[in-house]
Structure 1
Amino acid sequence: MKRLILMRHAKSDWSLGQPDHERTLNKRGRQSAKALGRWLAAEGLTPDQVLCSTATRTRETLKRLALDPEPQTVFEDRLYHAGPESMFRQLSAATGTTVLMVGHNPGIAAFADEISATAPPHPRFHDYPTGATLVVEFDIDVWADLAWQSGVPRGFVIPRELLDSGEA
């Protein structure tokens, strides 16, 4: 069994006029990333490998998750605004049992939809807002055996739910 935690970066700050790749998180994004980290820990979702875009906002999201223990992490240029095919190739080469992939829309929403056998029953799944996180499991022994529409969704959350519920 393999598990993917597919996370879109938290809310970034457009007000500073930074180039897209260098945009940092805004205040809400920083709070959201911390809330997502606490949610992952509470759910027992500890990745042993991370595949993360090289963009500043994805790296900052990952850092603020405060994962413990710290997993093996690969910062990958090819995940910066990657489409579903590129994300599939990156995941197919993964070595971890539970892999966290941190990326960007619109590719991450399309990838989530195409990798899952069914959509989770959540009204925000298809637009995959900032910080959206899907947990999906695959009945495979190695990631090289990954197939489209083979994942079974086990959870989906958006930061607003965590912040509004007081779980953050």
Structure 2
Amino acid sequence: MTGEQFLVLEGRIRQELENMARLKAELAAKGLITKNQNAKIAFPAGDSFFLRATGSILHDFYVAAENIFKTIAREIDHSLPADPEWHRQLLVQMTLDLPELRPYVIQKETAALLDEYRGFRHVFRNVYGFNLAAERLERLVQKLPETLISLRQDLQVFLERMREVIAVK
């Protein structure tokens, strides 16, 4: 990977992180994310539209993370999983330290946080919105700030280490 190619990759990663921050801001604007992380989220009772909208944001949150991982898998690893379990395999691939190729992208702890969103993304795409479980949405919304911080920190470390490998200034 050339220095120029790395700069393009870095730009794509930063753009997706900005998208994720916007999704978090949407949830905060509706009062679902507050500074008090122990505060109980109250979804409007019986409002499946609100659940669907929240589910869509959580779905998009994981899609943005997966977009980052797919870009890294294609541009650096030259290996994007292709079998039916490819979403899970891609997440695991990002935890691997690949000597001579790249450092790990995310820590296993971050992957575990993201795996809940990956699982939800699958459910969201395969069930009717009125069947979404408010409790699961609440848990994912509450964990989103922590997950985003962890992902952002891991990606910052990854980008710094890649700059050293590629010798980009």
TM range (shorter): under 0.3
Q: Which has the higher helix share?
A: 2
Larger Rg: 2
TM-score (norm 1): 0.25
TM-score (norm 2): 0.25
Q: Which has the higher strand share?
A: 1
